[in-house]
Structure 1
Amino acid sequence: MPSILRPSRQSDYDCFSSTTPIVIDNGGSTFRIGWAGELDPRVTFRNVVQRPRHKTTGETVTIVGDHDPALMKYFDYTRTSHRSAFDSNVVYQFEIMEYVLDYGFERLGADGLQVDHPIMMTECVCNPISSRSKMAELLFETYGVPSIAFGVDAAFSYKFNQQHGICTEDGLAVCAGVTTSHVIPFIKGEPVLEACCRTNIGGYHVTDYLRQLLSLKYPYHMSSITWEKAEELKMEHCYVALDYASELEIFQKGKKEAEEKTRSWQLPWVPPPQEEAPSEEELARKAALKEKQGQRLRDMAAAKRSIRITELENELHGLKDLLQQLDQAEETEISSILSKTGYDSRQEIESATQKITQSLRKAKGEQNETEERIDASLAEKYPLTNVPDDMLTPEQLKEKRKQMFLKTTSEGRLRAKQKRFEEESMREKQNQQEEEKRLENPELYLEQLHSRFRELTEKVEQRKRLKTNGARTNGNQNLSGGVGRGERLNAAQKERMRLLTTAAFDRGKGEDTFGARDEDWQLYKLMSKDNDDEENGQEEDEAELARVTSRLQSGPDELWSVLEKGRCERGDKNEEA
């Protein structure tokens, strides 16, 4: 609906005598108030009330008519809507009507709530007695008016046009309102109220029908074609056809007159802002910032790797000292030394030493003999992989990318094959040691096997609880509830993830450019190596648990047979003694 300016307060209220009536046109859409004898009303505004809240204080205020757009930044209009005192064309909400009358009298210039002028107010045809009596009670009791007269606006309009010779004594007055339309017949200048009729169609329905037609024709602009916009189009560009059939024929045949009556309306459109290309200084600043963040990540990775190397070296040194101590100890002292360290045999210590040695080489970035042979053979097979790009032609660059892919795939297969071979060799050696221990002392071996099973089960379950519920636990009870991955990370890991996210984000354009260069992936691989040892440890524990479980499930009969054989041999020796 077109925006109506908020009316200014009149200053000549005291200039009118108390006998001058105040005329109020109380319409369902617009409220008009002025002085009798004047051609135009003094104050005009929409006959609606809205009660928004202040965004800061939360205080509710009352706004009558159209609100000032400048107030939008101070008040919250999202939780309220316009309210009208009318139902169809009859006043039934007199609390809202009181707000409207207060505002109308105040804009007319009346001081306070005392109005000492007669009131002439319009109403619809055949207005209910209850509505008229409540309106009279409101004006008498609240404002203290001396007298009130009610009249039908359509009858006033017919009499006015009759005085000017526009219509005769006999005719029809059609009053089109917002939600209803009335037809009043006049005979000899008097309205025939018994023959009046009303239909529940008005200007609101015309506007809503126009909005629906525009929304169906332009579905992509449905959100922009609001009821207020459709009302504005109707008021500015639409007209009433005197001959509907002839008007329809004009547009059906596409005559030249139809083009003249056609109106084009442009929706509000704001061109998108033009993004300026970043300057060289800005690009250099972003590149320096990204390099600084990458260097910080590399420093963190180097510090963590140094700590890990120190821990592995200390642990390897301790195991070597333990092996040296076992070499120098006597046979009777070996069992007591092993019981203090937690290891069951010398072979287990040697196996742990070998694993720590491999982890230490991996942490230092060293390659064993097998890996060196693999790299040498692949380098001979794919010679372009070690040549810089600036020394190659375009065809050689394509061939180099192909060789890089093939080399990576072959290297992965060879390493996986070598790893499987080493694991099988280690497993055969371990099974042989297990078999020797089982034959040497079956009872002790079975007891150690159960102890190992309980230890590994507890360790694996603890890792699962930490992965599912977080690190803050008390026994078997989770104190932190369900937490996310961020709450399971320590301070160093959180800082590493923050730096990775910041390094991957281009603040200038808001684009994620991480991975566009090979250096980004090298940095990511460098940071990802920190958790390899933990993941490998978890996999080794699960594999060891599966092996011990299989040993316990498949070997009971063999163990009992060995135990029974041992008892029989000891019984025979006792009998001989």
Structure 2
Amino acid sequence: MDIDEPSNGAGPSKSRQGSRTIYIPETTNYQATVQQPFDYHSLDGTDPAICIDNGSHSWRAGFSSMSTPYIDRLNVVSRYKERKQNRNILLFGQDTDADASSRANIRSMFDGDLLIHGDILENALDYTFLTLGIDSTRIEQPIVMTERLANPLFTRAMTSEMLFELYNCPSVTFGIDSLFAFSQSAHPDGLAISLGHNATTIIPVCNGKGLLSRAKRIPWGGAQAAETLLRLAQLKYPGFPVKVTSSQATFMYHETCYFASNYEEELRLLESPENMAKMSTVVQFPYAQPDVVEKTDAEIAAALDRRREQGKRLQEMQAKQRAEKLAAKMVELEDYKQLLAERPTLKRADFVNRLQELTPFESEAEMESWIKKTESDIRRKQKKEAGEDIEPEEEPVFPLVDRPDEELTEEEVKEKRRQKLMKAGWETRVKAREEKKKEQAKKDEEKRQEESERATDLTGWANKLRAEQDAVINRIADRKKRRAQLGNRKSVASQSRMKSLANLAADDTNKKRKKNGDDDDGFGMDDSDWMVYREISGEDESEAEEEDQSQLQSIETRLLQFDPTFTEEDTMQGQAHAKNALVNAFVRGGSNGRYEPEDLKQSHQLHLNVERIRVPETWFQPSMFGVDCAGVGENSGWLLNGFEEEQRKRMMQGIFLTGGSSVISGLHTRLRNTLTPLLPFRAPLKILSSPDKDPRLDAWKGIALWSRTEQAKSARITRAEYEEFGGEWVKEHPWGNAPL
């Protein structure tokens, strides 16, 4: 099978490669494209036809004697009033991108693929005839113009009336753009496949005539592809700082997209973050960098030194404050000890009075306890600052606890109560330490048993821990999912929670109405009854989360240490990292550099990867984006198989691709891969493209060549025929819209 793969400018290799950057042109760099009028009198008396390719994206016009169209512009018009000079402005083509006012008033003569705005068509014709240097009130040359497949008669009548009545042209001929393009291929049989701006058409050609009765039209073109790419980018970057225009989306589409030779296979390859990163293309949008005063190395070093000095001073201040607090505590301790030393020389009543006046304590025993505790704290802090080991806590003495209240005074009874509380706290701490020792002993025993099991059966031990790891990860994921569901009031978890709250409120209301306890349902007598409150409030979520995280860390640490098949990628963090790496490669191209939201350059970047093949794939799978029809490959195969064997063989040698989107790399290979299983085994297949490697100009060049033939002269609708039969009059020719 012979495939003629076009180079189309940059070439497939450049278009498919990733990890490159393309730059969106700045609108502020606009410069008017003033086109000098053609020297009409240089035609030397010849009478060439005026060829006009009226495409829904571009307008191309020129004389048939030219090798390329003299006019090649966007087919849009902008009309607005300029306020400064108070004048009306009319711009055509690229000039509509002059400023914000012109861009806001851009209009096209087409609605989709249908020409409906005659006033804009008139503006385009005015610009064309003036630029071609025709300064007379009458057009002397015949006009040949393209139209859409199955163009409505009212559209042709509107155009014919304008050309004959307004411009006084001698004759007009209409033809289908894709068939004019096919006429260059020098093949009498084949398929004319046009990937246009608003639609894609497939027209079979037999014996030099287009069979319109078998033609197919797919409502998908370059405009829909660019819009789809823009929508995918908006979903991917919802907070993008600038508005992406349709022209910028078209630029991105042509510069980044390509047809995948095997779409499903390339998608599977993109499961790897590395492949995703390799495929990514960075689209850099223009931005204004604010003026930032950069510091010198000396200034940066001086700032670091200042920060170090500030940190050192802060540490010194904290140490000084701690020393001052400790000194004050020691002075206070000495004062209380001095007061306690004067106790034997004073009467009890005098001592109690001084104790209440000079100290916050109510009794002598309370002061002694505070002195003992403070001395212990001071020793501990001094040893800690000196780096010495801290002595274990001494067992306190509670002398009044075992003495009966009858033997004690009123103050000693109060002290006894306080000592009981202190003793209970001491016993609780001792009990907790003992339980901790028992728990540690239990863990040591479990660890010993685990080591024994690991030594005897490493595989079984590893599988057991892997199962525990999966269970813990699932619990964490379920808990996270439940929290997310509770945030949505329409979720099942949130509805269940509200139902439980409503039932509890109803039960509480009924209980308040009951005046006696005979009807008590006994709720709360069982500990399990209170689980409903914990389930509703979620108080145990944080504790369970901490336990699961601790258990997961222990399991993964042991597996990493002893299981040679368990790597960092198998941990929960490793699994999340792999997922995050794929997401990072999808959104940020897998760049090794860290993404900084404050960096204007990075925030004005789009990273396109899977979108590069997803958008063009719609031509072969239109259902991907809601278009209910078969794709280009399936329709082409169905059309070819509808002919007899000999006719099909001839047509398979002339599959001609044209249209603006046919420049997208990889189309030939993808069409071949799609047609091969649909056509007879090992049948020769040849896919052709523009001889000049510029499919955008195929239709105009086809018009220019065909308009010089005798066949074209016989297909002209003259002014006399227009006046007799009207604007809907059609003359049949091989490349026209009339069914043959």
TM-score higher than 0.5: no
| TM-score band, normalised by shorter chain | 0.3 to 0.5
Greater CA radius of gyration, 1 or 2? 1
Greater per-residue helix proportion: 1
Q: Please report the TM-score for the alignment, with normalisation by the length of structure 2.
A: 0.34
TM-score (norm 1): 0.43
Which structure's relative contact order is higher, taking Cα pairs within 8 Å and 6+ residues apart?
2
